[in-house]
Amino acid sequence: MLERCFGGRRLLKVKRLLRNGKLTLLCLALTVVVIRGYLGAGKFGTPQQDFREIRNRFSRRQAEPRRVLEEAGAGAGAAAEEKRSYGDVDIKTIWIDEDEEPERSDPNRPYTLGPKISDWDERRARWLKKNPNCPNFLRPDKPRVLLATGSSPKPCENPVGDHYLLKALKNKIDYCRLHGIEIFYNMALLDAEMAGFWAKLPLIRKLLISHPDIEFLWWMDSDAMFTDMAFEIPWERYRDSNFVMHGWDHMVYGQKNWIGLNTGSFLLRNCQWSLDILDAWAPMGPLKVREEAGKMLARELKDRPPFEADDQSAIVYLLVKEKDKWADKVYLESAYYLHGYWGILVDRFEEMMENYHPGLGDHRWPLVTHFVGCKPCGKFGDYPVERCLKQMDRAFNFADNQVLQIYGFMHKSLDNRKVKRTRNETDKPLEIKDKFGLIHPAFKAVKVSSS
């Protein structure tokens, strides 16, 4: 039939044309597919957009409520610019430093935390006398304590790091509220020379001299959590001490072990002695000397690996070298976990809940669980990320249970964020017993005047 239409010769031509055309059409189709896949085709969309559209059309998810509020009288606030998701924005592009980098201090002058103060005890005593409504003791056995902690003002490199910082902060807020302790969260690097673990030294000094009514400053790392909400520090025990850390005398003075004590959680009294020890502690901290100092510390201290000087090794070295000067006012506490290394604690939480109760503070129910080495905010830690984060969740829930039980709730399990009720609702809420004495403890009682 075709032969009759076109004639023999023409038919051949048509067939050749068709054969070539087949090839051309195939190439054309492939080109279109590839281009559409990579570049998109404007309003015709990309395959991914097609997929999304199909999914949305058939999905039964509710549309998220839009809460566009325009205050009466305010200017037209509707966003004319293209909306971008938070995931698209690089926070670094938002920062602007308006001033010049401050001048570096003279490299030949030795580093100091600030001008030497020699009469702090007298100054402080005078101030306290002039300000009787800002006493340094809330009760005879209860000093005014400020818990200081902090983190970088920049987002964590680990995408869930900030979430864990938030949880750790909530945990500290809870403990401090229950124990009448004030809290300061620092996000400012006060001295660029003392970045990293050394940043706490300028901060502590600044807080001590700015707040003379504070009797003790309690430094706590951002990767440490309270796990005993009922335990109250035995303040009386430290009546004659100025510096309390978790550790062991024999490991520090005997073995010169760099983990003979821990500076992740410590108490420092607000006095001249403390300003002096901060001054003596600081010299290994500045960036320019840290490497050399680190090498020296690795040589001098037992088991210390070689890395830049850290505040913990430096204080061990200082205490050993100048024992006569400092040791009598330093209390190395090991009766309870002022700092508790997480590795030996976290797997035992269920066992603790079974056998013991809050208020012990020691290996049976640790006061503090400190995730040394996990570094949830950074890219690299010393332990597998999954184990660290999972255990931090467990420690958080273990502590949170002790707070939630006040209100009649607890987590479904230590691995679970969800909570469940532990008691039936009642119409007589004031008759509920405060099991661990957390809501209205004696040390939070206010002195009532007899007038």
Partner 1 sequence: MGHLTGLNRFSAAGDGLPTAAARHRATRSRRGFGNIRLTIICALITILVLRGTVGVNRIFPDAAATTAEAELHRLVQEANLLTAKIRSDDDGSDDPPDEKSESNSTYILGPKISGWDGARKTWLHRNPNFPSHVNGEARVLLVTGSPPTPCDNSIGDHYLLKSVKNKIDYYWIHGIQIVYNLAHLDAKLTGYWAKLLLIRRLMLAHPEVEWIWWIDSDAMFTDMAFEIPFQKYNHHNLVLHGYPDLLFDQKSWIALNTGSFLLRNCQWSLDLLDAWAPMGLRGRVRDEAGKILMKNLEGRPAFEADDQSALIYLLITRKDEWMDKIFVENSYYLHGYWVGLVDKYEEMAGKYHPGLGDERWPFGTHFVGCKPCNSYGDYPAEKCLRSMERAFNFADNQVLEFYGFGHRGLLSPKVKSIKNETATPLSTVEKLRRPK
Nearest CA to 271 out of 112, 115, 122 is that of 122
> Which of residues 319 and 403 has its CB atom nearest to partner 1 in the complex?
403
For the segment 91-110, give every residue that binds partner 1 (CB under 8 A). 91, 93-99, 102
Q: Which of 245, 215, 222 is nearest to 318 (CA)?
A: 245
Q: Which of 40, 46, 177, 271 binds partner 1 (CB under 8 A)?
A: 177
244 binds partner 1 (CB under 8 A): no
Which region, judged by CB under 8 A, interacts with partner 1, from 173-181, 310-318, 341-349, 361-369?
173-181
Whole-number Å distance between alpha carbons of 420 and 410: 6
d(CA 383, CA 386): 9
Q: Give which of 219, 303, 218, 294 is closest to 256, Cα–Cα.
A: 303
197-226: contacts with partner 1 (CB under 8 A): 206, 209-212
**Per rule CB under 8 A, is residue 183 in the interface with partner 1?**
yes
What's the min distance (Å) between Cβ of 342 and partner 1?
Answer: 18
- Using CB under 8 A as the binding criterion, the count of chain residues that bind partner 1 stands at 117
Options 4, 129, 433, 440; binder of partner 1; rule CB under 8 A: 440
Report in angstroms how near the CB of residue 53 gets to partner 1 at its nearest. 18
Place of tokens 């550790």: 247
Site for partner 1 in 306-325 (CB under 8 A): none
CB of 354 to partner 1, least distance (A): 23
Helix (H/G/I), strand (E/B), else coil: 361: strand
Is residue 69 involved in binding partner 1 (CB under 8 A)? yes
Pick the binder of partner 1 from 4, 43, 116, 433 (CB under 8 A).
Answer: 116
Shortest separation between residue 242's beta carbon and partner 1, angstroms: 19
| 27-66 binders of partner 1 (CB under 8 A) | 27, 30, 33-34, 37-38, 62-66
CA nearest to 334, candidates 277, 262, 242? 262
Rounded Cα distance between 289 and 61, Å, is 59
* Near partner 1 in 252-291, by CB under 8 A: none
Q: How far from 106 is each of 30, 90, 287, CA to CA, in Å?
A: 67, 36, 14
| Token pair for 208 | 């001590």
The only residue of 110, 155, 254, 373 in contact with partner 1, by rule CB under 8 A: 155
Question: Using the rule CB under 8 A, is 335 a contact of partner 1?
Answer: no
Specify the residue for token string 């000067």: 325
439: contact with partner 1 by CB under 8 A: yes
What pairing do the DSSP bridges indicate for beta strands 243-247 and 261-269?
antiparallel
Cα 399 to Cα 436: distance, rounded to the nearest angstrom:
13
Site for partner 1 contains 161 (CB under 8 A): yes
